[in-house]
Structure 1
Amino acid sequence: MTERTLSEAEYDAITDAAAHWCMRLHAEDCTEAERLAFKQWHDADPLHAFEYEAMLEIWGVAEHLPRVEAAPGACIGRPRSGWVRLAIAATVLALGLPLAAFTGWNLGWLPNAYQRFEAGTSVRQIILDDGSQVELNLGSELVFANYRDERRVTLKKGEAFFDVSHDTRHPFVVRAGQGQVRVTGTRFNVWMYQDQVRVTLLEGSVWVTSNKASNAGGSQLSPGMQASYKAGDFQPQIREVGVDDSSLAWRNGKLVLDNLALSDALPLINRYLDHPVMLADNGTGTLRIGGIYNLNEVKNLVPTLPKVLPVYLTQNKDGNLVLNAIGRPPRN
């Protein structure tokens, strides 16, 4: 392959494009057409992919920076604010985190340590900079930033089990979906799929809020309790599950479906699939399923469902498989 030499302007254009796509793909109003256009740009050149991965590192830092407020009377929209935050984060990374520790660390708005972790097709065990131990489930991703006033984790997707180093003066905060979990030292599990989040506590105590923008309206958990919330929930839903709850079976490589309604089981199943399986209607969702499955074989579960349940499979216009209860015609 012939090596190319890019001009500074050409390289800057690729960097600018990577920053643009990074912000658009993280935006709530990102469209499928934009995602397709990004994939075409990403796959068109290895340098595009390289620059985008580098931009993800910058984005991870930018997410933890304070929001850029516009001066009174100024006309600064959300996209402009995003560019400013990316520029600040890029400067921090370019100068090095030791400088951040000397300046922004003392102000409490820049971390002195930043880490990003991903788990692929196997469970991954990691140790954060503060000594806390984390197990990441398949296909999970998180970032860790250590601030002067708190240790902050963002669970980007998937599931993680935390064994947090105790430090009462330096709280440990896990952001997941629209809410967060706040602790000083404990053992707990956080599961997330789309906008649904479930927190299960084994030891210690945690404070769960369903709106990470506010510390109000939260709930304190004791060992053996579980909090669930989704986008728009004012309060988490609390229930007792016991410390041996089957939702933690993933740590042993298993997915346990304990006589669950399909409406409750599909989010657990879809977490391990490239494309989610849908329900044809609410009636199909009331059918129940049980069993123990190896995590790496969950993708083979869906084609076998018609053999164990009174359902058949169809495909919708987006290409997703749809479960239909026998006796009910598929929805158009």
Structure 2
Amino acid sequence: MDDEAVKWLVRVQSDAATGDDWIALTAWLEASEAHAEAFERAERLSAEIADNACEIAAAIAGPTTEVFRVAARPVLSRRWLQLAGLASAACVAAVIAAPTLQRAYDGAATVYRTGIGETREIVLADGTRIHLDAASTMTVRLGWRLRRVALAQAQASFDVAKDSRRPFVIDVGDQRIRVVGTEFNVRHYDQSVVVTVRRGVVEVHQPSLGPEPVARLTAGAELRHIESTAVSGARRVDPDGAFAWRAGRLVCDGEPLTQIAAELNRRYAIPIQVTETAGAKRFSGVLYLGDQALLVRRLAGYLSLTVRRTDRAITLS
């Protein structure tokens, strides 16, 4: 069983590992508690080899008489001698492969970016689906024991594949989101973090405040937070509004025009500028993210604003 666990470990840490490999491993782990224990032993051994690669290499390179003296001890069974030989070979390989093993343990970093007006759907190797909004940057690492995402200035919705042995963690601003399998949306722009849950349970942590979560969000809950503060406010919402951008709509709930313009400027090549007076006005409703000229005309009409257009900008006053 230990040999089989090692084979699984090698299989999923390979650069050629696929989502089917992870699904097959999950099925093997869940088939028996003994399987899970064997896999954890293999992981611990791999990590120990990587951590002590230099010492192990020096020991293996020692005088051959030492090897014969150990082999002559009557307390060692033939099975243990075979395992010792295999371990020696593994240690030699570990000296060379330690950086690769560490990358596999943490997961190789993959960076995804979208430009202005560009959205992207991403399917990770574990089956998780991510929709990345316009003008967003996201880094993904799929490790052996942890799936990790870092959101820079970005908005993304997540439909996380369930894997109880590999939690899904998102670092966003000064907060950390932890889930196993759920669907939620994260918005992070201008030091503002908004997390909206459509299915499942999401834990939100703020490491600077300690290990306990600042909130546990269930379906229909939304958390809003400003970076570098200790306050996170949760409320009940219609979660579909947070996902509306995927269908080409922007749902506004009393936001000031300055914030709405910033959101629109991630989607259109010609930027929208607002005067101080216009920027303070608030809008509630649904904007359809199609033709920019039509959208601006409707927004200006609703807020009684004047539109001035040049080749370089659109100004609302």
Deviation at 1:322, TM superposition (A): 6.5
Match of 1:134 in 2: 130
1:290 aligns with 2:289: no
Work out which of the residue numbers 101, 107, 110 in structure 2 matches 1:112.
107
Deviation at 1:212, TM superposition (A): 6.9
Q: How many residues are matched?
A: 217
Instruction: Find the aligned partners of 2:147 and 2:208 in 1 and give their Cα distance.
Output: 15
Match of 2:242 in 1: 247
1:186 aligns with 2:185: no
Q: Which amino acid aligns with 1:248?
A: F
Q: Contact 2:257/2:274 (CA < 8 Å) preserved in 1?
A: no
Match of 1:200 in 2: 196
CA distance 1:213–1:272, change in 2 (3 Å)? farther
What do the CA deviations read for 1:67-119 (whole angstroms, capped 9, x no partner)? xxxxxxxxxxxxxxxxxxxxxxxxxxxxxxx753424655xxxx233222223
Structure 2 residue runs without a partner (length 5+): 1-96
Q: Contact 2:151/2:170 (CA < 8 Å) preserved in 1?
A: yes
Match of 2:263 in 1: 268
What do the CA deviations read for 1:146-175 (whole angstroms, capped 9, x no partner)? 234421101123211111121223211112
Deviation at 1:122, TM superposition (A): 3.8
Match of 1:75 in 2: none
- In angstroms, what is the RMSD of aligned CA positions? 3.3
Q: Secondary structure at the match of 1:311?
A: coil
Match of 1:307 in 2: 301
Instruction: Find the aligned partners of 2:267 and 2:173 in 1 and give their Cα distance.
Output: 18
What do the CA deviations read for 1:113-160 (whole angstroms, capped 9, x no partner)? 322222344432111233211111222221101234421101123211
Q: Secondary structure at the match of 2:134?
A: coil
Identity among equivalent pairs (%): 27
Instruction: Find the aligned partners of 1:305 and 1:192 in 2 and give their Cα distance.
Output: 24
TM-score (norm 1): 0.55
Q: Which amino acid aligns with 1:139?
A: A
Q: Which amino acid aligns with 1:154?
A: A
1:144 aligns with 2:140: yes
Q: Which amino acid aligns with 2:153?
A: K
Structure 1 residue runs without a partner (length 5+): 1-97, 325-332
Q: Contact 2:167/2:180 (CA < 8 Å) preserved in 1?
A: yes
CA distance 1:131–1:306, change in 2 (3 Å)? closer
Q: Please give the residue correspondences for 1:38-53 in structure 2 after superposition, counting only pairs within 5 Å.
A: none
Instruction: Find the aligned partners of 2:207 and 2:275 in 1 and give their Cα distance.
Output: 28
What do the CA deviations read for 1:240-260 (whole angstroms, capped 9, x no partner)? 01343x221112122233565
CA distance 1:307–1:276, change in 2 (3 Å)? closer
Q: Contact 1:209/1:236 (CA < 8 Å) preserved in 2?
A: no
Match of 1:16 in 2: none
TM-score (norm 2): 0.57
Instruction: Find the aligned partners of 1:122 and 1:271 in 2 and give their Cα distance.
Output: 9
Deviation at 1:272, TM superposition (A): 2.8
Q: Contact 1:228/1:236 (CA < 8 Å) preserved in 2?
A: yes
Instruction: Find the aligned partners of 1:270 and 1:211 in 2 and give their Cα distance.
Output: 32
What do the CA deviations read for 1:11-70 (whole angstroms, capped 9, x no partner)? xxxxxxxxxxxxxxxxxxxxxxxxxxxxxxxxxxxxxxxxxxxxxxxxxxxxxxxxxxxx
Instruction: Find the aligned partners of 2:102 and 2:217 in 1 and give their Cα distance.
Output: 36
Deviation at 1:313, TM superposition (A): 6.2
Q: Secondary structure at the match of 1:135?
A: strand
Match of 2:101 in 1: 102
Q: Contact 2:188/2:194 (CA < 8 Å) preserved in 1?
A: yes
Q: Which amino acid aligns with 1:224?
A: G
Q: Contact 1:113/1:129 (CA < 8 Å) preserved in 2?
A: no
Q: Secondary structure at the match of 1:234?
A: coil
CA distance 1:105–1:214, change in 2 (3 Å)? farther
Q: Contact 1:124/1:137 (CA < 8 Å) preserved in 2?
A: yes
Q: Which amino acid aligns with 1:166?
A: K
Higher relative contact order (CA 8 A, sep 6+): 2
Instruction: Find the aligned partners of 2:100 and 2:203 in 1 and give their Cα distance.
Output: 28
Match of 1:280 in 2: 276
Q: Which amino acid aligns with 1:176?
A: V
Q: Secondary structure at the match of 1:250?
A: helix
Instruction: Find the aligned partners of 2:245 and 2:196 in 1 and give their Cα distance.
Output: 13
